[in-house]
Structure 1
Amino acid sequence: MPTDPKELERRAFVALDRLTDGVSGLGLAVSGGGDSVALMQLVSRWPGRSRHAVSVATVDHGLRAASAGEACGVARGAARLGFPHQTIRWDAGDGRGNLMARARAARLRLLSDWAGARGLGAVLLGHTRDDVAETLLMRLGRGAGIDGLSAMTERRASHGVEWLRPLLDVGRQELRDWLRQTDASWIEDPTNEDESFDRARIRRVMAEMGLDPAMLALSAANIAEARAALNAAMLPLIEDAEARLAALVLNRPRFAAAPAELRRRLVVAATRFVTGGDYPPRRSGVDHALQSLEAGTRVTLDGVVLDPSGDRLLVHREPAAATRAALDADRWDNRWKIIGLRKGDRVAALGDGVANLDWRTLGTTHLEAQALPVVVRDGRIILPLREAGDGLSATPIRDMLDFRRILLGH
């Protein structure tokens, strides 16, 4: 049936109202393709637009000769709608590794930096119901578990930004029908038909088999409901969990008595809590860690130490990983906020310096203490946790509220 433009707009506007409540400024990520152009056009017609400052950005990956011109086309379209626009260019470098994965990671980082510089509370993305269906099939082919198979979420926090997807209840073809009825134009990225990419092959298979994206998206939503039930079952396991010095202390007997899937989810969340990583560790690594913990053996996973000792399961940063950590503004190792640094100061892991410290006064283990931050100032080593002075201090970036958010949303 033909798309009813008013009905599509109603669904989009309801989602926009719900997702942007309380958000100060909105960014739109617009590539020039049909989905993101439709999102920009819908936002321009959205009655709630007046409550938000809206800006548009296009990431030009420079992977196709036409990409610069397409970004200019988005800029012209944004100007006609009264939206300020910026093109952000990415240098692909030497092209090593998975190019598409690197491009996705760069896009996320560049857009988050852009949003942060403009004080935008959230960035809207044009993912549709078809993206949910395609992602489900792609992850099925990779042996994903319940988290990977769950539907895309409408709201996700990452890189200091809220990423919002208001079009997950709308089909890709619906959006293009709506664009035609509104006389809007868009470009079709030729890589969408390039079957050297997984998503293009999945789209062809779906079409050949007559798979309905709406039904696949419904399956993903059902899996997400099952995930929510599992999350609820996790809460008793962390009743007395404690966040301390950028580490986590869990109740080992409760952990050991839990079903395997709950233990797996707890290990994944605890690892991400310590590192601040946006993505879970590989399944094979998690399985190995669970086997070691079941045997009562200390194990390392993605730069995190899981140490079963007595009634505690201590999860903390691996010292070797901490020695490779860098300072990003006032954040060190994505774990600590360091305040009061002077020109010439250097932040490093305590490491072997633990031999000259009465680390027991901090309430840590010997290994855990080696990953703590120190400030090297004029040849002197300062432990800001204990020797704070001249405004120098170190504070963990994440607390128990963050752990609960990771645990219930990973």
Structure 2
Amino acid sequence: MSLPAADPAFRVHAALDRLAADMPALGIAVSGGGDSTALMHMVADWARGRTIMVATVDHGLRPGSAAEARQAGRAARALGLPHVTLLWQRETETGNLMANARDARLRLLAGWAQRNGLPAVLLGHTADDQAETLLMRLARGSGIDGLASMAEWRDRFGIRWLRPMLGAGRQELRDWLQARGTAWTDDPSNENDDFDRIRIRKAMTALDMDIPALARAANHIQEARDALSHYAAHAARDVTIRNGSITLPRRDYQDAPTEIRRRLIVAACRWITGADYPPRRNTVLHALNALATGHRVTLDGALIEPAGDRIRLFREAAAAMRAPDSHGGTWDNRWKISGLKAGQHVAALGMSEVARVKWRLSGLGRDEAAATPAIWQGDRLVAAPLVRATAPYDVRPLRDSGDFHRLVMAH
């Protein structure tokens, strides 16, 4: 049955055709609220033989969250869709609770999707979320990356995240559910003025702001961001990568505008450390200022060093020393190591041992060599494979040049 173009399901189905037509299986993140409930019903109508699975994350932050998760499960099973509730086993965390909860939600959903062979998870963000996010980040003084609209898809934690409802508004989705006689659960925290998003949402309503116009503005900023990413990729064309370090031609870096320099440095630091998030903007600007005066500087566990006609970036030795020991597999979120014997472990070579392994012959700098993985038997240094190749130890980087260029284009 064809849908009229005014029906929000028409737009959502068109987005699903564009984003997921070749995927035989999909997951849906469903909280039980109006947006995700509408998404679940629209996907069920569209699925046409695909495997669709549903998950609800219970953060345990409110007394009624478990009951809401059970209700979401009943709604999914009524559509013939398998459902699971994922519990956030919270430890004592620091920082922003809501940000930690969002990050935990994605990690839980990613693990669930990977265990079930789901290549992508659908999220219920709408045009209203676009508009609210734009105003929230504008109030915080965000740069162009923060102000740009949410992408329809992105890859993170080994899973593709799809947002097929960005062209639909929150109220029209609720009207759509009501026309079908379908209920949903309103989260009481949506009335809690302690949260920035709720205050922004209420202000938008009071001012009768044009949500589609704000969403279009975010899309325009996204187009500008994409142009900057392509410029940065061009500026990174002659980057060289060796032994987990990155070298930028200094002239290409200096000839670029500040925003492109920032993007190059952020991508390089994330590539070196494997961090999920970029460094804070103020710390990046401090690093750019230091480089402009010819000084080396550390940034989120990476050391950035002007060296003649090059700028070199590599792992900070002190940060590598803090990495947990590894008994095989991966170490410091940078290296994959094999060949260890019983009782051996991997830890940073360290500054005190650098001279013993004749680091100058390796072509590495002293600080760079100190941050490389070394094989230890208790407190005894056995080998430093990146400084001097030693059988049977094999050390390979977790990321290659393709990963760096993807980070340059990331948003």
> Into which bin does the TM-score normalised by the smaller protein fall?
over 0.9
- TM-score by length of structure 1 reads 0.93
Mapped partners of 1:289, 1:335: distance in 2? 22
What's the counterpart of residue 322 of structure 1? Answer: 320
Matches within 5 A, 1:11-410: 11-23=11-23, 25-47=25-47, 49-50=48-49, 52-94=50-92, 96-326=94-324, 330-341=329-340, 344-352=343-351, 353-377=353-377, 379-385=380-386, 386-387=388-389, 389-390=391-392, 392-410=393-411
Q: In the alignment, residue 330 of structure 2 is paired with which amino acid?
A: R
Q: Which moved more, 1:297-306 or 1:19-28?
A: 19-28
Number of residue pairs the alignment of both structures matches: 405
User: CA contact under 8 A between 2:233 and 2:408: conserved in structure 1?
Assistant: no
Mapped partners of 2:337, 2:105: distance in 1? 28
User: CA contact under 8 A between 1:5 and 1:178: conserved in structure 2?
Assistant: no
Per-residue CA deviation, residues 48-71 of structure 1 (Å, 9 max, x unaligned), is x42x32221111111111111111
Give the Å deviation of 1:86: 1.3
User: CA contact under 8 A between 1:92 and 1:103: conserved in structure 2?
Assistant: no
Q: Which moved more, 1:195-204 or 1:361-370?
A: 361-370
Mapped partners of 2:342, 2:41: distance in 1? 48
Structure 2 residue matching 1:120: 3-state secondary structure: coil
Mapped partners of 1:6, 1:184: distance in 2? 19
Q: In the alignment, residue 85 of structure 2 is paired with which amino acid?
A: T
Mapped partners of 2:163, 2:291: distance in 1? 38
Q: In the alignment, residue 267 of structure 1 is paired with which amino acid?
A: I
User: CA contact under 8 A between 2:244 and 2:272: conserved in structure 1?
Assistant: yes
Give the Å deviation of 1:367: 0.8
Mapped partners of 2:109, 2:79: distance in 1? 21
C-alpha change, 1:230 and 1:346, in structure 2 (3 Å) is same
Mapped partners of 2:341, 2:180: distance in 1? 57
Per-residue CA deviation, residues 304-360 of structure 1 (Å, 9 max, x unaligned), is 111110111111111111111236883322211223455643221111322221223
Structure 2 residue matching 1:169: 3-state secondary structure: coil
C-alpha change, 1:81 and 1:339, in structure 2 (3 Å) is farther
Per-residue CA deviation, residues 258-315 of structure 1 (Å, 9 max, x unaligned), is 1111111211111111122222211110111011100111001111111110111111
Give the Å deviation of 1:91: 2.9
Percent pairwise identity: 50
User: CA contact under 8 A between 1:237 and 1:251: conserved in structure 2?
Assistant: no
Give the Å deviation of 1:222: 0.4
User: CA contact under 8 A between 1:62 and 1:89: conserved in structure 2?
Assistant: yes
Mapped partners of 1:85, 1:188: distance in 2? 20
Per-residue CA deviation, residues 210-239 of structure 1 (Å, 9 max, x unaligned), is 111111110010011111221222233112
Q: In the alignment, residue 332 of structure 1 is paired with which amino acid?
A: W
Per-residue CA deviation, residues 49-98 of structure 1 (Å, 9 max, x unaligned), is 42x32221111111111111111111112222222211111133346532
Give the Å deviation of 1:177: 1.0
Mapped partners of 1:406, 1:273: distance in 2? 7
Unaligned runs of 5+ in 1: none
Mapped partners of 2:407, 2:46: distance in 1? 32
Q: In the alignment, residue 373 of structure 2 is paired with which amino acid?
A: P
Mapped partners of 1:22, 1:254: distance in 2? 40
User: CA contact under 8 A between 1:276 and 1:335: conserved in structure 2?
Assistant: yes
C-alpha change, 1:330 and 1:40, in structure 2 (3 Å) is farther
Structure 2 residue matching 1:313: 3-state secondary structure: strand
Mapped partners of 1:273, 1:373: distance in 2? 17
Unaligned runs of 5+ in 2: none
C-alpha change, 1:187 and 1:393, in structure 2 (3 Å) is same
Mapped partners of 1:245, 1:21: distance in 2? 40
Per-residue CA deviation, residues 358-402 of structure 1 (Å, 9 max, x unaligned), is 223433211111111123246552334454544x42211111111
Mapped partners of 1:149, 1:360: distance in 2? 46
Q: In the alignment, residue 8 of structure 2 is paired with which amino acid?
A: L
Mapped partners of 1:362, 1:150: distance in 2? 44
User: CA contact under 8 A between 1:32 and 1:187: conserved in structure 2?
Assistant: yes
Q: In the alignment, residue 288 of structure 1 is paired with which amino acid?
A: H
